[in-house]
């Protein structure tokens, strides 16, 4: 009888130890899975917050462009061989305030200060393409030139990044990249105005 009780006790202890070990492993797996799920949830929340921020930038830029009150901060301009060269976006800009424009290009030359050129626009059109990009077109007449320029600006959806194409005359085009900000929201350096 003692042997049976002893055997029964050994079996009971062995079984309970195995059950406890299995439970402990399950808890460890559950803890790892919980941590993994928490990391994935944080990653998804960051992604959603970033998309919301980009959409807000797009909506602010689109509103400013449609109201014709924006600053286009120029980051880079295409040079003759098709490559883009960077510019100083604190002092290289195109500004539109209603129908009056101010533009300035600073390519980083130490020998001259950037010149501020005023102008006016006409034939303003705004549309949206299939991808949700905002496209505005207008004719620019700068005070320093007798030739009007056809301007096309494409604001990329869910961003304030914008591409500008300047058609100066038949076959001559300039391509510029930059960002759109509402007029008065950023401080920009203004050089010497060109007066004619």
192 with 94: CB under 8 angstroms? no
Q: pLDDT at position 84, please?
A: 79
Q: Count CB neighbours of 84 within 10 A.
A: 13
Angle (CA) 126 129 133, round 5°? 80
Q: pLDDT at position 59, please?
A: 92
| First CA to last CA distance, the chain | 119
Q: pLDDT at position 1, please?
A: 47
Q: What global pTM score does this model have?
A: 0.72
Q: pLDDT at position 125, please?
A: 94
In sequence order, which residues have a C-beta less than 8 Å from that of residue 84 and are 6 or more positions away? 76, 77, 78, 175, 177
Q: Map 96-127 to HEC letters.
A: EECCEEEEECCCCCCCCCCEEEEEEEEEEEEE
Stretches where the chain sits below pLDDT 70 are: 1-31, 80-81, 89, 107-113, 169-171, 191-192, 194-196
Q: pLDDT at position 25, please?
A: 62
* Of 189, 40, 12, nearest in space to 105 by CA: 189
């Amino acid at each position: 009888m003692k042997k049976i009780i002893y055997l029964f006790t050994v079996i009971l202890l062995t079984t309970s130890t195995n059950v406890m070990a299995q439970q402990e492993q399950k808890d460890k797996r559950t803890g790892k899975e919980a941590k993994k799920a928490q990391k994935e949830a944080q990653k998804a929340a960051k992604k959603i917050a970033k998309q919301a921020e980009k959409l807000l930038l797009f909506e602010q830029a689109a509103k400013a462009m449609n109201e014709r009150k924006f600053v286009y901060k120029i980051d880079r301009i295409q040079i003759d061989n098709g490559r883009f060269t960077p510019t100083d976006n604190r002092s290289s800009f195109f500004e539109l305030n209603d129908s009056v424009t101010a533009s300035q290009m600073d390519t980083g030359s130490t020998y001259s200060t950037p010149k501020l050129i005023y102008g006016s626009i006409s034939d303003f059109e705004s549309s949206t393409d299939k991808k949700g990009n905002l496209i505005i077109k207008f004719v620019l007449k700068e005070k320093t030139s007798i030739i009007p320029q056809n301007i096309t600006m494409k604001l990329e959806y869910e961003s304030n990044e914008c591409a500008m194409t300047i058609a100066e005359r038949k076959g001559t085009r300039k391509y510029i990249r930059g960002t759109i900000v509402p007029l008065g929201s950023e401080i920009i350096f203004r050089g010497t105005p060109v007066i004619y």
